[in-house]
């Protein structure tokens, strides 16, 4: 698929050559100190591994997009199709902490929404850690609504630094 321009950012589908940089960006965005998306104070362990990202690049269920600015990969997110074919889950959403706050995340999100709506999907959904109200508020500004359905932490519960920490489901209509 042809890359899409959003201001100074180019969005394109990820390829195998992106694996290493995506692992680095995801780690720095979620598990390192700094950046407003860090979960380092809440969750230990890796946010993603090479196999997860490789699968998101190569299978037909996921659509993994990367954002490039000045030729460098600076962010990513995927959508994974629901089994019912009506929607997709947004995940692995990461922007390099050095460039957060510049619209890259919103550009990635809107491109995912545009592409999935063009496929006829009805909704995007995601999960947000309960203790991240600022993140939930950002998603709300992007059209997502909390559906009031708590779910267990999606990763390894042993990695939680806050025992019993759960997640909230948020949904955005596409059509």
The pLDDT value given to residue 1 = 60
pLDDT band of 6, cuts 50, 70, 90: low
Domains and CATH numbers, the chain: 4-124 (3.40.630.30)
Tell me the per-residue pLDDT of 96-148, one tens digit each, with 9 for 90 and over: 999 999 999 999 999 999 999 999 999 999 999 998 999 999 999 999 999 99
- The beta strands (E) that lie in the chain are given as 4-6, 9-13, 62-69, 72-81, 87-95, 123-129, 145-152, 166-173
The stretch 43-67 carries a mean pLDDT of 93
From the list 128, 174, 134, the residue with the least C-alpha distance to 36 is: 134
% the chain with pLDDT above 90: 85
Predicted pLDDT at 2: 67
pLDDT band at 175; cut points 50, 70, 90: confident
Q: Is the confidence at residue 4, as pLDDT, over 80? A: no
SS (HEC) of 123-162: EEEEEEECCCHHHHHHHHHCCCEEEEEEEECCCCHHHECC
Q: Does 34 score more than 80 pLDDT?
A: no
Q: Give the Cα separation of 19 and 13 in Å (integer).
A: 12
Residue 86 scores a pLDDT above 70: yes
- CA–CA dist 20, 12 (Å, integer): 16
Q: What is the mean pLDDT of residues 139-163?
A: 93
């Amino acid at each position: 698929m042809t890359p899409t321009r959003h201001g100074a950012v180019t969005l394109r589908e990820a390829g195998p050559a992106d694996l290493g940089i995506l692992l680095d960006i995801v780690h720095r965005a979620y598990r390192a100190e700094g950046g407003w998306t860090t979960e380092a104070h809440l969750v230990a362990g890796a946010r993603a591994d090479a196999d997860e990202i490789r699968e998101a690049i190569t299978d037909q269920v996921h659509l993994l997009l990367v954002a490039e600015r000045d030729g460098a990969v600076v962010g990513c997110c995927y959508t994974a199709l629901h089994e019912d074919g009506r929607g997709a889950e947004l995940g692995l959403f990461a922007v390099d902490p050095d460039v957060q706050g510049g619209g890259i995340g919103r550009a990635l999100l809107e491109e995912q929404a545009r592409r999935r709506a063009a496929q006829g999907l009805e909704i995007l959904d995601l999960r947000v850690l309960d203790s991240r109200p600022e993140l939930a508020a950002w998603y709300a500004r992007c059209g997502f609504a909390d559906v009031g359905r708590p779910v267990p932490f999606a990763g390894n519960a042993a990695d939680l630094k806050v025992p019993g920490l759960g997640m909230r489901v948020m949904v955005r209509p596409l059509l």
